[in-house]
């Protein structure tokens, strides 16, 4: 065996890497979501075609009522599509039973909401650790330390939600969402209840999770300054995406 046979020229290596096929984390095809208010049909999503690649930080913008939350809930398996397909990490959500869909949600998706939804009787440590227990793989002290440090929570772990600022509570909620290494974080207006300063802290931490850990994030926001932290902005109107539906 010659030495040259084991050394691959860099150009070839680069080409090989470029040809590696990377599958999207999220794909929607002609996705519709209809709600019914009495006899009235409310079309919240009207044919959404959307793709998210691994490692993207996508923000979704658009006027109130345009379907942003509906899109996020359907992507996360919290609501069912009325028509069309949703694939999350290659799994067709409609083809999964309820138990399998719950499992996919638990293992692959982390949610962050505008209201932090923490358990009031548990301190920050408990609120984060409980997600690891529900996940079923038990407590991973190393992961816990990395995440809480990255989110600046090390000094706050013994505080209950009522003893923390909104920004701190949202950082605990983010830690809880990300602790089990989900493929995807779905955030619905995570800074909607925060003042400017806390919003900036939370956004820069989401951005850091994206940059340092390669975390894939889809975040709804009303705020163009918040969208500026992301790597792609999707614009919605009247139940469809009008701009930015796929990565370039
Ligand atoms: P956004 O998050 O962009 O404000 P939503 O997805 O919450 O928009 O709502 C899209 C449309 O669907 C709106 O017209 C809203 O009123 C309607 N809608 C949302 N949820 C429901 C529901 N549970 N029942 C009936 N209509 C709903
Ligand atoms: Mg909404």
Count of domains observed in the chain: 1
pLDDT tens sequence across 162-217: 999 999 999 999 999 999 889 999 999 999 999 999 999 999 999 999 999 899 99
Of residues 109, 54, 62, the one with CA closest to residue 234: 62
What pLDDT, on a 0 to 100 scale, did the predictor assign at position 136?
66
Domain CATH number, residue 116: 3.40.50.300
Note the helical H segments in the chain.
10-19, 68-75, 98-108, 124-135, 141-150, 166-178, 196-213, 224-227
Measured in Å, how far apart are the chain's first and last C-alpha atoms?
43
Testing ligand 1's pocket by substitution, the residue of 44, 64, 76, 79 carrying the most ligand atoms inside 8 A of its CB is: 44
Please state, in angstroms and as integers, the Cα–Cα distance from residue 35 to each residue in 8, 27, 46, 99, following that order. Answer: 57, 22, 12, 24
What pLDDT, on a 0 to 100 scale, did the predictor assign at position 16?
62
189 sits in which H/E element:
none
Q: Write the CB contacts of 181 (distance below 8 Å, at least 6 apart in sequence).
A: 143
Q: Does 168 fall in a domain? A: yes
Buried b / exposed e along 92-122 (16+ C-beta atoms within 10 A): ebeebeeeebeebbbebbbbbbbebebeeee
What mean pLDDT, rounded, does the chain reach? 90
Please give the backbone phi and psi of residue 223, each rounded to the nearest 5 degrees, phi first: -105, 120
Domain that holds residue 172: 54-79+95-243
Task: Say what the pTM is.
Answer: 0.89
Q: Does 127 fall in a domain? A: yes
The reply to whether ligand 1 has any atom less than 6 angstroms from the CB of 70 is yes
136 sits in which H/E element:
none
Q: Does 238 fall in a domain? A: yes
Please state, in angstroms and as integers, the Cα–Cα distance from residue 99 to each residue in 102, 104, 135, following that order. Answer: 5, 9, 14
**Alpha carbon distance 222, 193 (integer Å):** 12
**Alpha carbon distance 21, 23 (integer Å):** 6
Q: Does 44 fall in a domain? A: no
The reply to whether ligand 1 has any atom less than 6 angstroms from the CB of 234 is no
What pLDDT, on a 0 to 100 scale, did the predictor assign at position 4?
45
Q: Does 1 fall in a domain? A: no
Q: Does 28 fall in a domain? A: no
Q: Does 15 fall in a domain? A: no
The reply to whether ligand 1 has any atom less than 6 angstroms from the CB of 40 is no
What pLDDT, on a 0 to 100 scale, did the predictor assign at position 132?
78
User: Which protein residue's CA is at the shortest distance from atom 16 of ligand 1?
Assistant: 65
Q: What is the pLDDT along the chain (248 residues), one digit of tens a residue?
A: 444 444 555 566 665 666 678 899 999 999 999 999 889 999 999 999 999 999 999 999 999 999 999 999 999 999 999 999 999 999 999 999 999 999 999 889 999 999 999 999 999 999 999 887 776 666 788 989 999 999 999 999 999 999 999 999 999 999 999 998 899 999 999 999 999 999 999 999 999 999 998 999 999 998 898 999 999 999 999 999 999 888 86
Q: Does 152 fall in a domain? A: yes
**Alpha carbon distance 196, 174 (integer Å):** 18
What pLDDT, on a 0 to 100 scale, did the predictor assign at position 5?
45
Spatial contact of 112 and 170, defined as CB atoms under 8 Å apart: yes
Alpha-carbon Rg for the chain in angstroms? 20
């Amino acid at each position: 065996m010659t030495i040259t046979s084991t050394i691959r020229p860099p150009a070839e290596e680069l080409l090989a890497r470029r040809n590696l096929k990377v599958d999207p984390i999220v794909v929607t095809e002609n996705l519709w979501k209809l709600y019914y208010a009495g006899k009235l049909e409310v079309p919240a999503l009207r044919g959404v075609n959307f793709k998210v690649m691994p490692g993207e930080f996508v923000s979704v913008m658009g006027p109130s009522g345009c379907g942003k939350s509906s899109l996020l809930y359907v992507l996360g398996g919290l609501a069912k599509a009325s028509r069309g397909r949703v694939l999350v990490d290659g799994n067709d959500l409609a083809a999964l039973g309820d138990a399998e869909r719950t499992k996919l949600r638990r293992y692959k998706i982390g949610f962050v909401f505008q209201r932090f939804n923490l358990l009031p009787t548990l301190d920050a440590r408990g609120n984060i650790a409980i997600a690891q227990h529900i996940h079923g793989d038990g407590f991973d002290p190393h992961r816990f330390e990395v995440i809480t440090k990255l989110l600046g929570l090390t000094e706050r772990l013994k505080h209950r939600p009522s003893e923390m600022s909104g920004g701190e509570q949202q950082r605990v909620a983010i830690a809880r969402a990300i602790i089990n290494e989900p493929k995807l974080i779905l955030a619905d207006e995570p800074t909607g209840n925060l003042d400017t300063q806390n919003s900036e802290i939370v956004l820069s931490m989401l951005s850091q999770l994206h940059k340092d850990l390669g975390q894939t994030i889809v975040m709804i926001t009303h705020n163009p300054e918040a969208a500026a932290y992301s790597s792609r902005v999707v614009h919605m109107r009247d139940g469809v995406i009008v701009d930015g539906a796929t990565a370039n």
